[in-house]
Structure 1
Amino acid sequence: MRLKDKVIIVTGSTTGIGKAIAKAVLAEGAKVVVHGLEEDLGIQAIEEFGSERTVLLVEDLNNDGTPQRLVDLAVKTWGKLDALVNNAAWIVSSDINSTDKEFLRKVLDINSIAPFLLIKSALSYLERSKGVVLNIGSVNAWSGEPNLLAYSVSKGALMTLTRNLGDVLPRTHGVRVNQINPGWVLTEREMIRKKQHGLSENWYEEIPAMYAPSGRILWPSEIAAAAVYWLADESGPISGQVVDLEQHPLMGRNAPKDASTIHGK
């Protein structure tokens, strides 16, 4: 097992990509702090995973002290911390007209500042274990879509945080920091979100080749498989890296005018 007995915090792990990562690392022998906002989904996740190697915290990352409570729970339960996966995020639509100062601050608080505070809270324990931080970003960090302005800005900030700490922390604390930028992923909430945008019930079965050359979009389990590599010892000394996981190139690609009504993440 590639992660045997490693203690890992995975934020936002009661649904979607986070849940898939929690499931994958548990399969590789890890112990996981499961985190989310909804108690019912948290209880369902623990029932699905089993309680032997999981513990649950249901709390908003934007609350004062939540990052420290997540770290304390891991250490209290298992006596150490080996890895932190900053996956939780607020995926919310906005453009320049609908984004004001308070809204932008809230998105940055959840998507950029909370991960930073979690890293700070976890750092002394990660230093002891020569551990790793894995941030889950988005391909929208590179520029984003017109209707994902605040979200895209927050993911750009997270990417810079990864690059900066990924350079500094291996030298000062022996802790590696890397990031995965998922493309368009078929999560439960993405299915609901697109239906709310007016797409059909089975919209994901007929994705234009422009967005899905393979004929489908990514699955959460495929992001989770990549996450295991970055959390495991086999990724060696690699740090400060941001890896885009999408099925087409992002730079210099010509999207049609209606791109913002189709693509998401």
Structure 2
Amino acid sequence: MAPVAVVTGAGSGLGRCLAVSLAADKTSLVLVGRRAHLLLAAREECVAAGAGPEQVLTVPADLAEPGSAARVVAAASEQFGGLDMLVNNAAVATFGALEPTDPDVFTRLFQTNVAGPAALIRHAAPLLRRSRGTVVNVGSIGGLLAVPGRSFYGATKAALHHLTRSLARELAPDIRVNAVLPGAIDTEMYQDLGLDEDATRRLREEMIRTTPLGRMGTPQDVVPWIRMLLGPDASWMTGTLLVVDGGRSC
């Protein structure tokens, strides 16, 4: 029987790339994201990659909203009868200095980047325990580096890292919980940071300048490491924060 994976933030970027990669191995997929049209496009790519049409379920959901996590897990259970892998990839990023930034921004960041993954793990735990499954959270080196103007985002990612390590102990030995911490990945997220075009351009230039390997990463640079943490080769790994950042956090 094919393994079952929930991938959040699956409509674009890293989540979509991961979903297509898993589909090529005939993994059954629950694709979660806020924008239904992007999920449907991702579903088409997954089917083209080798998954059967009945193996790819789309669940439009905003994980910052109460009840969304329970609905996602219920859909996975109803469609596929179980769950083996959960990838908490969905996130929002907003940059800005402490004083002028609306406090509601931090609330939104926390609900999506920390509370949403926590709720999904909580609701998925019975199914994952039954399958001796695994969780991979997508953190960020933003949760390691102290950077002015990015404190809210960094604080939520640092919280996700701590959640990863704490739950790795709490849910062991039945469920493994790890995280991958990407550096600057060239995805659509840079269009949604709340910055104007010039500020976004300067940010990208800064990311490249401060990365020893001299470029931004791509989803394809990160997906193999998520897959490694999901798979049997990582069967003795839990509580790991795996940095994949071109050397930027050195």
Deviations 1:80-131 (A, max 9, x none): 1001100001111122113454332221111101100100000000000000
Query: Against the structure 1 CA distance between its residues 9 and 101, is the aligned structure 2 distance closer, same or farther, given a 3 Å change threshold?
Result: same
Q: CA deviation at 1:195?
A: 8.5
Deviations 1:18-72 (A, max 9, x none): 1111111112231111111112111111122223321001111111111011111
- 8 A contact 1:67–1:118 mirrored in 2: yes
What does 1:1-265 align with in structure 2 at a 5 Å threshold? 5-50=2-47, 51-171=53-173, 174-190=174-190, 196-198=196-198, 210-251=209-250
Query: Against the structure 1 CA distance between its residues 116 and 228, is the aligned structure 2 distance closer, same or farther, given a 3 Å change threshold?
Result: same
How far apart in 2 are the matches of 1:207 and 1:142?
Answer: 17
How far apart in 1 are the matches of 2:81 and 2:122?
Answer: 18
Letter in 1 for 2:221: E
How far apart in 2 are the matches of 1:238 and 1:208?
Answer: 30
Q: Which residues of structure 2 form unaligned runs of 5+? A: 48-52
Deviations 1:230-260 (A, max 9, x none): 1111111210010111111524xxxxxxxxx
Q: Which residues of structure 1 form unaligned runs of 5+? A: 252-265
- 8 A contact 1:60–1:66 mirrored in 2: yes
Q: CA deviation at 1:208?
A: 7.8
- 8 A contact 2:94–2:105 mirrored in 1: no
How far apart in 2 are the matches of 1:91 and 1:68?
Answer: 24
- 8 A contact 1:16–1:220 mirrored in 2: yes
- Scaled by the length of structure 2, the TM-score of the pair is 0.89
- The alignment-based identity, stated in percent, is 28
- Scaled by the length of structure 1, the TM-score of the pair is 0.84
Count how many residue pairs are aligned between Structure 1 and Structure 2. Answer: 245
How far apart in 2 are the matches of 1:114 and 1:122?
Answer: 12
How far apart in 2 are the matches of 1:89 and 1:189?
Answer: 9
How far apart in 2 are the matches of 1:221 and 1:52?
Answer: 26
- Measured on the aligned residues, the alpha-carbon RMSD in Å equals 2.4
Query: Against the structure 1 CA distance between its residues 200 and 136, is the aligned structure 2 distance closer, same or farther, given a 3 Å change threshold?
Result: closer
Letter in 2 for 1:106: R
- 8 A contact 1:207–1:215 mirrored in 2: no
Query: Against the structure 1 CA distance between its residues 200 and 166, is the aligned structure 2 distance closer, same or farther, given a 3 Å change threshold?
Result: closer
